[in-house]
Amino acid sequence: MNYIFLGAVALIVIIYFVVTMLRLRKAVTNLTQEQFIEGYRKAQLIDVREAKDYDAGHILGARNIPYSQFRQRFKEIRSDKPVYLYDQNGGKSARGALFLKKKDYQQLFHLQGGFRQWTGKVKSK
């Protein structure tokens, strides 16, 4: 009986992750660092990490809108221009993109692997 319950829970978790991945794929375009570099200067570059992480080092030209404040501050992001998002690993910026997609933003791009894998220019305070 316990195995059936555990199997059902595992199946629900797997279905949740598959549905989330499909939603992400429709909402945001994942970009490699090279692809990200090609387009981010012509777009709005948003770092969704917390301020202390942003201050420690961020991609040159990025604005900081922490994910914890995203729902209150998303209107600072123009919906008529491309939006390039990143965070430390990629999870929060992907969720931020899903949120923006629900608010009718269309041109959403995400740095695959996040800032952790970034080797381009960095600015720190």
- Kindly state the percentage of the chain with pLDDT values over 90: 60
pLDDT tens digits along 45-92: 999 999 999 999 999 999 999 999 999 999 999 999 999 999 998 889
pLDDT at 20: 66
- Kindly state the percentage of the chain with pLDDT values over 70: 93
Phi/psi for 63 (5° steps) reads -100, 145
Say how many C-beta atoms besides its own lie within 10 A of residue 85's C-beta.
30
Q: What are the domain boundaries of the chain?
A: 2-123
Q: What's the chain's average pLDDT?
A: 89
Instruction: Summarize the confidence of residues 113-119 as an average pLDDT.
Output: 91
**Per-state percent for the chain, helix, strand, coil, to nearest 5:** 55, 15, 30
The arrangement of secondary structure in 2-123, i.e. its CATH architecture, is 3-Layer(aba) Sandwich (3.40)
How far apart (Å, rounded) are the C-alpha atoms in residues 85 and 112?
10
Among the listed residues 33, 17, 23, 20, the one whose alpha carbon sits nearest the alpha carbon of residue 86? 33
How far apart (Å, rounded) are the C-alpha atoms in residues 66 and 37?
21
Instruction: Summarize the confidence of residues 106-118 as an average pLDDT.
Output: 92
